[in-house]
Amino acid sequence: MTDPDDPPPAGTGPERVTVHGAAAVGGGDVHVSGTYAAGRDIVIDRRSIYQTYADNRRYLSLFGLWHRGGGPQVRARVRRMLADVMRQHWIRRDDGYLPVRFTERPEAVVTPRDAVLVTTDPPRRTFPAGATLSDVRDEIGGNLLVLGAPGAGKTYQVLRLAGDLLAAAERDDSLRMPVYLHLGSWTRSSGSLLAWAAAELGRVFKVPAKFDLKQIIEAEVVLLLDGLDEVDRAHRNGCARAIDEFRDRHGDVPLVVCTRPTEYEATGVRLALDGAVLIEPPTPAETESYLEGLGSKAAGLRRMLAADPGLRRLLGSPLFVTFMVQAYGSDDGAARPPTGADGVFADYVAAMYRRPVPRSLPRFAPEQVTRWLSWLARSLRRRRTPVFHLDRLSPDWLPDRADRDRALRWERVVIAVLAFGGGWLKAALMFPVGHAKPLTVAFWLVVWPPLFAWILGSRAATLERFTAGITPGTLGRGLLAWARNPLTVLAAVGLVAGWRIGPVQVPAFTALFGQPVHVRALCAMLLTLLLPVMVFVHARWFDFTVVQPRSPGEEIRAVPRRSLLVGLAVAAVVLVHQIALGWLEAPQYGTAYMLLHPLEMVPLAVLGAAWFSGGRTYVRYRVTARILHRRGLGPARYGDFLDHATRRLLLVRDGGGYRFPHDRLRRYFATLPPESQPRS
């Protein structure tokens, strides 16, 4: 018997077989779905079969290593985290959305059949009304392109598919978990699609990086990628090519891509997928049947349509049908017919302001909410992103240069105050050990605060790039990637080594004076290397990752506590290291030095670690939010406002962020002047 890992014999060409339903090739069944392949010649390349089998062998081996390394408990924990986030933020009950029809568009993609057959006019199947995307995927294949015009219901259909996949995966843990990701955050600097998806898995789903996010995607995930059309135009072609490269390298990861047809065709890329479908607009009969099925919920809208049949032109997409039902479904909304699409959105917003909410929730005036949403929509358009993350609110969101400069000045004032406190504590701890010389005290109390403010204020971005991995908000999530970079590791070790074991410092290790010089130097070097090693081990086994936020602003409110924990953890590591150094230097400087010298480094360690592990983000958020509130462009408590807008269906949750229910609604708010008010 031939080993599957061996290549096929030389000179073995493609085998030509005629398929009628199914055929056996190499002991495996090849099933052909559809009728267009029956009775035709299909070329099957044995080399591709061998290669696929070998790739699967490697994939299973990699998964086995990850599985054995973490155990079944880790796998179950990761799957539970994915399921919880999907169910909390994206999968909701079916609320009677207008049914749609799917039509196959095989010419939009490069299918596996295209590799063996040349067809000038591929057949287009129209699936029966009421068929779901799960039904279509079962027919065509697991890798699918979903096309649809604006408002066709693409996102809704993909999220329905996610619900079906999640239910199946919870019944059978051998099936992959669905993961919904919005491509709007992809840029040219995101790298490969796998790297971007792994970063999103950590950022949105809060999966710790120590679980190897890339391998989780390869082994456990069905990727549902929405919003290719919302990627910035300058990066859209690169994103499409990244998806194609991902399919070439990771063909065993199921993939569903959702986009508008016009933007997709403009990329000039035909994705290598199993098939493509187009969401067809509803017919007048389907819309009428849907409205009749809603009963009293759409009574006002039906009366309005009967009085003015011309309004039916606005019912050309499920999006507008849904908005018009919300705006005019009751008798109260039927008094004033809308004037075009903007009129529908204005009436929808007014209807949402009349929507009852619990009395315990904070209340805002409609004109305030409109002004804040208008600023938010314009800011999202300016930053070319569809999702707003509260924890990313920073001075660059401010519209005026003067406001941005004011925010940076306040940030440096906060840094200077913290630096003065840290310098004062260090100077105070130097008194008992006899190091409190006038020049030293003057440095820590006078020179250090403005210098530290300049370093962390003006050069914060440079330092964050240098310490990439320690800075994002948790000590452990990115330290592994940071530690793999030889340049940053050598630079860090060199700085510490040069500081601690220079020509003057080595003779101070009097406890080692009985040893040769090279032994003393080696011991000093090993002790110096102990600090980064201890930080590495600490970060590897202790995870400070914040749980998935369940209320607006929860993540940003958790930053101070998280930063303090990280600062104390780093301080503990530094303290142990400094105690060891103090023990070596005790014979020269005395026992008091050995006990109190390590404490000198604690204030600076806590301050630096807390600042770079989220403290700076929190300060920038608070300063920016305060300036926006004083300008009338934002609320005093952003979390309450986001919750208010979400309950009124003017915003929806998207992972850890917020977005408008549809791009058309976002564009409507972006065109309003800040002082605009909805129609009453």
Does any domain span residue 303? yes
406: left (phi over 0), alpha (psi -120 to 50) or beta: alpha
pLDDT tens-digit map of 184-233: 888 877 888 999 999 888 888 888 777 788 889 988 999 999 989 988 88
With cut-offs at 50, 70 and 90, classify the pLDDT of residue 481. very low
User: Quick one: CA dihedral 225, 231, 236, 239, positive or negative?
Assistant: negative
Q: What residues contact 372, with CB distance under 8 A and at least 6 apart? A: 633, 634, 635, 641
For residues 673 and 515, which has the higher predicted lDDT (pLDDT)?
A: 673
pLDDT tens-digit map of 98-137: 888 899 998 899 876 665 555 556 678 888 888 889 999 9
Q: Are strands 177-182 and 221-226 parallel, antiparallel or unpaired?
A: parallel
| Host domain of residue 254 | 61-280
Residues 73, 186 within the same domain: yes
Does any domain span residue 554? yes
- Find the DSSP H helices in 399-508: 401-430, 438-442, 448-458, 460-466, 479-483, 486-500
Does any domain span residue 313? yes
Residues 585, 487 within the same domain: yes
Residue that is last in its domain, among 592, 615, 630: 630
Count: domains in the chain? 3
pLDDT tens-digit map of 604-647: 777 777 776 777 788 888 889 899 988 888 888 888 888 889 88
User: Which residues on adjacent β-strands are paired with residue 20?
Assistant: 22
pTM over 0.85? The answer is no
Residues 202, 337 within the same domain: no
Between CA 102 and CA 125 the distance in angstroms is 8
pLDDT tens-digit map of 336-358: 667 777 888 888 898 888 887 77
Residue that is last in its domain, among 253, 280, 307: 280
Q: What is the mean pLDDT of residues 82-106?
A: 80
Nearest to 570 by CA among 515, 523, 532, 618: 532
- Percent of the chain past pLDDT 70, that is, above it, reads 61
Residue 618 φ/ψ, nearest 5 degrees: -65, -45
pLDDT at 453: 59
pLDDT at 77: 86
Residues 444, 548 within the same domain: yes
Residues 174, 211 within the same domain: yes
Tell me the DSSP string of 128-191: PTT--HHHHHHHH-SSEEEE--TTS-HHHHHHHHHHHHHHHHHH-TTSPEEEEEEGGG--GGG-
pLDDT tens-digit map of 242-275: 999 999 999 889 999 999 999 999 999 999 999 9
Max avg pLDDT among 10-14, 48-52, 288-292, 421-425: 288-292
pLDDT at 314: 79
For residues 581 and 506, which has the higher predicted lDDT (pLDDT)?
A: 581
Does any domain span residue 679? no
What angle (nearest 5°) sits at the alpha carbon of residue 72, between those of residues 68 and 75?
95
pLDDT at 122: 65
The one-character DSSP state at 387 is: -
Tokens 């009967």 belong to which residue? 306
Q: Are strands 255-259 and 221-226 parallel, antiparallel or unpaired?
A: parallel
Residue that is last in its domain, among 354, 383, 408: 354
Q: What is the mean pLDDT of residues 146-158?
A: 90
Residues 270, 347 within the same domain: no
Tell me the DSSP string of 504-518: TTGGG-GGGTTS-HH
Residues 276, 286 within the same domain: no
With cut-offs at 50, 70 and 90, classify the pLDDT of residue 65. very low
End-to-end CA distance of the chain: 79
- 3-state helix/strand/coil string of 43-109: EECHHHHHHHHHHHHHHHHHHHHHHHHHHHHHHHHHHHHHHHHHHHHCCCCCCCCCCCEEEECHHHC
pLDDT tens-digit map of 224-248: 999 899 888 888 999 999 999 999 9
Residues 101, 220 within the same domain: yes
Residues 195, 311 within the same domain: no
Does any domain span residue 39? no
**H or E stretch including 17?**
strand 15-18
Residues 259, 349 within the same domain: no
Does any domain span residue 214? yes
- 194: CATH: 3.40.50.300
Q: What residues contact 75, with CB distance under 8 A and at least 6 apart? A: 67, 220
Residues 272, 294 within the same domain: no
Beta-sheet strands, E only, within 545-668: 652-654, 657-659
pLDDT tens-digit map of 485-496: 444 444 455 445
pLDDT tens-digit map of 379-402: 998 887 888 888 788 888 888 888
**H or E stretch including 226?**
strand 221-226
Does any domain span residue 642? no
Residues 307, 200 within the same domain: no
Nearest to 355 by CA among 8, 647, 36, 17: 647
Does any domain span residue 441? yes
